[in-house]
C-alpha cells in the first residue's frame, strides 16, 4: 500500500472567521473521520496545526542556523493540518480526501509519498 499525505489548506482569516459552533462541528466530524480511518486500517498519523503566525523557520543551508519568526512561505493559504494515510491506490486516497474535506470544511490536497528505493 502507498502512503499519502492529505493536507488541509486555508487562510488564517478563513479559520478565524469560523464561529465557535462551526469549529465544534468540524472537530466532531474530523474525530469521526479519524475513527473511520482507524477502523479501515488506513490511519498512520494526523493532526491539526496552530495558526501560521506561530511558525518558526530554521535555515541552516549556509552553515549556522538562521531562525526567523513566521511561516516559511509568505502566501495567502497555509497548511492547517494533515493526515498520513495508507491506501491501495490514488482513487482510494481521493475518496478519503473527499470525506476529509467535508469533515473539516476546507480543501484537501492529496500527495503520495515517494517510494523507498529497494536494492
Whole-angstrom distance, CA of residue 11 vs CA of residue 18? 11
DSSP β-ladder status, 66-69 and 56-59: antiparallel
Average pLDDT (96-100) is 97
> What pTM does this model have?
0.85
What would the pLDDT profile of 5-52 be if each residue is shown by its tens digit? Answer: 999 988 878 877 888 888 899 999 999 999 999 999 999 999 998 888
Average pLDDT (86-109) is 95
pLDDT at residue number 46: 95
DSSP state string for 75-94: -SEEEEEEEEEEESSHHHHH
Q: How confident is the model at residue 73 (pLDDT cuts 50, 70, 90)?
A: low
pLDDT at residue number 18: 82
Q: Are 8 and 81 in contact (CB under 8 A)?
A: yes
- Report phi then psi at 83, rounded to 5: -130, 145
Q: Which domains does the chain have, with CATH numbers?
A: 2-112 (3.30.70.1060)
Q: How confident is the model at residue 72 (pLDDT cuts 50, 70, 90)?
A: low
Fill in the DSSP letter of residue 103.
H
pLDDT of residue 74 exceeding 80, the answer is: no
Query: What letters, b where the CB count within 10 A reaches 16 and e where it falls short, cover 20-43?
Result: eeeeeebeebbeebbeebeeeebb
pLDDT of residue 63 exceeding 90, the answer is: yes
Average pLDDT (76-94) is 93
Amino acid at each position: 500500500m502507498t502512503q499519502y499525505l492529505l493536507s488541509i489548506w486555508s487562510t488564517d482569516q478563513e479559520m478565524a472567521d469560523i464561529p465557535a459552533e462551526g469549529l465544534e462541528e468540524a472537530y466532531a466530524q474530523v474525530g469521526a473521520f479519524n475513527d473511520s480511518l482507524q477502523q479501515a486500517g488506513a490511519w498512520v498519523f494526523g493532526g491539526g496545526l496552530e495558526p501560521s503566525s506561530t511558525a518558526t523557520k530554521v535555515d541552516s543551508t549556509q552553515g549556522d542556523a538562521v531562525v526567523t519568526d513566521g511561516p516559511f512561505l509568505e502566501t495567502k493559504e497555509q497548511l492547517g493540518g494533515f493526515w498520513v494515510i495508507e491506501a491501495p491506490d490514488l482513487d482510494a486516497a481521493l475518496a478519503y480526501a473527499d470525506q476529509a474535506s467535508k469533515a473539516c470544511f476546507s480543501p484537501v490536497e492529496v500527495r503520495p509519498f515517494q517510494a523507498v528505493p529497494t536494492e
